Structure 1
Amino acid sequence: MIKFFKILALLEGVSMLLLLFVAMPMKYMFGDPFLVKHVGMAHGVLFVGYMIVATMLKFEESWSWKKYGFISLASIIPFGTFYMERKYFPRTS
């Protein structure tokens, strides 16, 4: 489940960056809301999935409330999921 969560965190982070740095400028600078609608929906679904899996893992892995809070907070900060993944889930060779 951790591997799935890491993939979900990556996708959620990428979708947030696409929304903030591609779709939103397209909407407000060029008047084209098409990407906001679609990227925004994908980001919303990924965010909800991220939070559900994080909550499941909190209980399965016996995370402290502090760790769970940081992991949850990372989902609303740009680049937060990338930092969280490196800090709490380092790669093992």
Structure 2
Amino acid sequence: MDLKTASAIRRLRLISVPEGISWIVLAVCTVIKYTVTREVDVARVLGPIHGVLFVLYVLFWLDAWNRTKWSLGTGLLYFAYSIIPGGGFIAERRLRRESEAAVMAARARREGVVNA
């Protein structure tokens, strides 16, 4: 894995958790707004924040998909994580595992270790 690909995956990992948190908080605030009180409209503030985080996630997702050459299924799965509440946490965990595996494979290649 080259440096640009690793950076693209890292950016996607870093934005996935805040995007997931903002999705959940926005959903909770919206439910509270329509069930408990209409006087406090926190969703008006959180909506644009979540929107910016979602757009960043999509941009970083496209960059990572382009650089890693994921299959269609894998690429769409990472996009689906941005839509599922809390999916950003799952995406971060999977991306961390993927990047750690790539680092281990690169070290093994550099040291000349071959899997038997």
| Matched-pair contact (CA < 8 Å) for 1:19–1:40 | yes
1:9 aligns with 2:25: no
Q: In the TM superposition, what is the alpha-carbon distance from 1:31 to its structure 2 partner?
A: 0.4
Moved over 6 A (4+): none
Higher relative contact order (CA 8 A, sep 6+): 2
The number of equivalent residue pairs is 92
Helix, strand or coil at the partner of 2:42: helix
Q: In the TM superposition, what is the alpha-carbon distance from 1:12 to its structure 2 partner?
A: 0.3
**TM-score, normalised by the number of residues in structure 1:** 0.86
What CA distance in whole angstroms lies between the structure 2 residues aligned with 1:25 and 1:69?
Answer: 28
Q: Which 5+ residue runs of structure 1 have no aligned equivalent?
A: none
User: Which one of 72, 75, 83 corresponds to residue 68 of structure 1?
Assistant: 75
What CA distance in whole angstroms lies between the structure 1 residues aligned with 2:13 and 2:53?
Answer: 12
Higher Cα Rg: structure 1 or 2? 2
Q: In the TM superposition, what is the alpha-carbon distance from 1:10 to its structure 2 partner?
A: 0.5
The percentage of aligned residue pairs carrying the same residue is: 27
Q: Which 5+ residue runs of structure 2 have no aligned equivalent?
A: 1-7, 101-116
Taking only aligned residues, the RMSD between alpha carbons, in angstroms, comes to: 1.9
